[in-house]
Amino acid sequence: MDEAERVGRVSVTANVFLTLIKGITGISAGSTALIADALHSLVDVLGSALVWIGIRIAQKPPDEAHPYGHFKAESLAELGVGLIIILTSISIVVDAVNSLISGEKPKFELYALAVAIISALSNEVLARYKIAVGMRTKSSSLIAEGKHSRTDVISSLSVVLGLILVYFGYWWADAVVAIAISVIILQMGGEIIKNAIDVLMDRVDEEFSMRIRRIIEGIEGIKSVDFVAVRGTWRSRIVEVHITVSSEVGTERINEIMEKIERLKDSFPEIIRIIPVVRVSREIRRIAVPVDENDNYVGDLNAKFFKVIDVKSGKCWKIRNEFWNAQKMKGYLIAELLSKNGVDLIVVKRIGEGAKNHLKGKGIIVKFAEEFDLKDVRLNGT
């Protein structure tokens, strides 16, 4: 058993114990605040149980009946638990309000005070333990858990305060503390339900989608990334990617691209499934023509400019070929420059084999002037 798991077990055992003694004491001493605090501990136990369910059931690999995995089982459990939490905390608020209205005075019981103090101390010990182990194992989730235990300390301390106020004759203090604690529990319940609904409704994880999109846009040979959506939980994610590639890149290249997309699973082990959709496009959107400063056709990659023609709008403009006299990787650099400018086709008189392959790799079609009617392309402006 690793250290994080041991901390988890200690925490669950302690919270089960605290739930029981606070619940029993709260009922027998008539302290609504202590009952509310008992419910808080119970919610913490249920929270840990949900994480466990998430790991055991939701992590089951996809099967024939459930090809997208089982992670929604966790959300269904969360939905149920969230509803129970909300209903119970509402019933405590109702109880507390009733006792305020009826003016029913709670008795001060020393043993109830003792139990509340024990609860505050136990939670403080748990908080320190979790934070210490979290720091040592560099686990941010354990440190977060430790901080949560600190709020449990405050919850129990407010019960202590309420009971002391009751002792000094402020009989309403117990009910007020109970309402305050219930409001916090209501929030916790609401958050659990919201998370569950987000997963069940396939709400897109925007931040993660952006990260995936940026990686895919960096893969060579993709003309455009048309759609990226990530859904699921932070432990199990499903990624859907739609891309367009030029028909020029060929099957072998498309297979390479698919492999690179599939390799996202190595960097993000929480991805359980990737759904790629590839569209092969023959559409020519922009044509590049190598020219000199006076717009004269040069016809090879030594040209200092490219005239770019947008086929649809008929607009054309000039871009500077900053790599015209590059000593190394000239073909590659120019292919990248043209690809960045959305060029699908280049018209040349002559071209080296290497440069041609670089252009092909970026999905850019190379046409020779004799097989392409240059009259279609207006070189002198629009």
Hey, what are 30's tokens? 């008539």
Hey, what are 110's tokens? 């020393």
Q: Which is nearer to Zn ion, 152 or 248 (CB)?
A: 152
- Closest distance of CB 93 from Zn ion, Å: 18
Residue in 37, 74, 152, 248 binding Zn ion, rule: CB under 5 A: 152
Q: Which is nearer to Zn ion, 188 or 355 (CB)?
A: 188
- Closest distance of CB 238 from Zn ion, Å: 32
Q: Which is nearer to Zn ion, 78 or 152 (CB)?
A: 152
Return the DSSP state at 103: T
38-46, 91-99, 127-135, 175-183 -> range binding Zn ion (CB under 5 A): 38-46
> Judged by CB under 5 A, how many residues of this single chain contact Zn ion?
2
28-36, 147-155, 198-206, 338-346 -> range binding Zn ion (CB under 5 A): 147-155
What per-residue string of b and e applies to 323-362 under the rule 16 or more CB within 10 Å gives b?
bbeeeeebbbbbbbbbbeeebbbbbbeebeeebbebbbbb
Q: Which is nearer to Zn ion, 44 or 205 (CB)?
A: 44
**Strand order through the sheet with 222-232:** 222-232, 237-246, 271-281
Q: Which is nearer to Zn ion, 26 or 69 (CB)?
A: 26
Tell me if 248 contacts Zn ion by CB under 5 A.
Answer: no
What per-residue string of b and e applies to 35-50 under the rule 16 or more CB within 10 Å gives b?
bbbbbbbbbbbbbbeb
48-56, 148-156, 250-258, 265-273 -> range binding Zn ion (CB under 5 A): 148-156
Q: Which is nearer to Zn ion, 19 or 233 (CB)?
A: 19
Given a contact cutoff of 8 angstroms between Cβ atoms, the answer to whether 379 and 297 are in contact is yes
55-63, 149-157, 300-308, 336-344 -> range binding Zn ion (CB under 5 A): 149-157
Nearest Cα to Cα of residue 25 among 181, 150, 180, 156: 156
- Closest distance of CB 122 from Zn ion, Å: 12
Q: H helices within the chain, ranges in order?
A: 3-29, 32-56, 72-102, 110-136, 140-167, 173-200, 206-217, 250-262, 264-267, 330-340, 353-361
* Alpha carbon distance 230, 209 (integer Å): 5
- Closest distance of CB 127 from Zn ion, Å: 10
Q: Which is nearer to Zn ion, 44 or 174 (CB)?
A: 44
12-20, 111-119, 150-158, 296-304 -> range binding Zn ion (CB under 5 A): 150-158
Residue in 18, 36, 38, 44 binding Zn ion, rule: CB under 5 A: 44
In this structure, is the dihedral angle defined by the CA atoms of residues 81, 86, 91 and 95, taken in order, positive or negative? Answer: positive
- Closest distance of CB 364 from Zn ion, Å: 59
* Alpha carbon distance 139, 351 (integer Å): 56
* Alpha carbon distance 345, 236 (integer Å): 41
- Closest distance of CB 243 from Zn ion, Å: 45
Site residues for Zn ion per CB under 5 A: 44, 152
